[in-house]
Amino acid sequence: MQKPLRAFDFDSAIARKPGTSVVKGLRAGGQEDPDFEAVCAEHDAYVAALRHAGVEVQVLEPLEAFPDSVFVEDPALVFHEGAILLRPGVGSREGETAAIAPVLRDRFDRVLELGAGYVDGGDVLTTSDRVMIGLSARTDREGAEALISSLAKLGRKGEIVHTPSSVLHFKSDCSLMDDTTILSTQRLAESGVFSGFETLIVPEGEEGAANALRINDTIFLAEGFPGTLALLEGAGYHLATLKTSEIAKIDAGLSCMSLRWLS
């Protein structure tokens, strides 16, 4: 009997090397520019970790014209059933969708396009029974509704939820641990969006740890969050930590640097 697919089962991924322009990537706060060589080292370690977890990773060449193009999750969504090209909510990133479209058309039989509005992939959390779309400064209702229509064509159910106003992306504050469990910040969990799930709350002061990434049987967690590490180890998860201190200076997390699917 075939095992049912889990939302975190992956064997394929796409990533993109950072260009030298990455040091001028978008950021919400006044953080200093990251060091380019350090960003490259963190990205290399990230790709190696995905491969170690059993994922074949296609690494694309840098796009110097788009400083944030290393974050390939924002201009597209990928699933076993097909891909959806999105429309990032910041004008400087619009060309990233056109750049990744040919790659996805080579890899997927079905590639749909968002018909209206704006959606960043960082606002989209895929679970076993639904795809949660967080409204934010980067994702509007028109885009979320258009995405629900595209998801339906792939046989998936979409649900619109809200992102706290102080949070860049929905997944900045949450990640999927298993089919029934979400790792979340207190501020997001309090909104009630995770009804029906068990929630694990990151300790106060470790909100950045909420953007973890489950790949098959391993949960990747950013370094520097000992309370969250202890919480997840205590819950019985297999963990691996990755350095993200430089990439975090441009508001990045672990989920945004790859597109992942089960082929």
The overall average pLDDT reported for the chain is 94
Residue 4 is predicted with a pLDDT of 64
Quick one: pLDDT at residue 114?
95
pLDDT digits 0-9 by tens, 131-162 = 999 999 899 999 999 999 999 999 999 999 98
Tokens of 62: 């840098």
What distance in Å separates the CA atoms of residue 227 and residue 199, rounded to the nearest whole number?
16
Mind listing the pLDDT tens digit for each residue in 26-69?
877 667 899 999 999 999 999 999 999 999 999 999 999 999 99
What is the pTM for the complete model shown?
A: 0.95
**Does 169 qualify as catalytic in the annotation?**
yes
The three state secondary structure string of the chain is CCCCCCCCCCCEEEEECCCHHHHHCCCCCCCCCCCHHHHHHHHHHHHHHHHHCCCEEEEECCCCCCCCCCCCCCCEEEECCEEEECCCCCHHHCHHHHHHHHHHHHHCCCEEECCCCCCCHHHEEECCCCEEEEECCCCCHHHHHHHHHHHHHCCCCEEEEECCCCCCCHHHCEEEEECCEEEECHHHHCCCCCCCCEEEECCCCCHHHHCCEEECCEEEEECCCHHHHHHHHHCCCCEEEECCCCHHHHCCCCHHHCEEECC
Query: Taking every pair of C-alpha atoms in the chain, what is the biggest distance, in angstroms?
Result: 53
> How confident is the model at residue 259, as a pLDDT?
98
Min mean pLDDT across 70-74, 88-92, 103-107 is at: 88-92
| Annotation says 40 is catalytic | no
Q: Is the pLDDT of residue 25 over 90?
A: no
Instruction: Judge contact between 85 and 102, C-beta under 8 A.
Output: no
Strands 218-222 and 239-242, by their bridges, are parallel
Task: Give the residue-averaged pLDDT of 160-187.
Answer: 92
Mean pLDDT along residues 247-263: 93
Section 193-203 average pLDDT: 96
The encoded tokens of residue 97 equal 């969708």
Which one is predicted more confidently, 195 or 232?
Answer: 232
State residue 151's pLDDT score: 98
| pLDDT (mean) for 13-32 | 89
* Mean pLDDT to the nearest integer, 196-218: 97
Instruction: Tell me what pLDDT residue 1 has.
Output: 43
Q: What is the pLDDT of residues 91-108, one digit of tens each?
A: 889 899 999 999 999 999
Give the C-alpha separation, 211 to 170, whole Å: 9
pLDDT confidence of residue 3:
58
Kindly indicate the confidence band of residue 180, based on its pLDDT and cuts at 50, 70 and 90. Answer: very high
Q: What is the pLDDT of residue 67?
A: 93
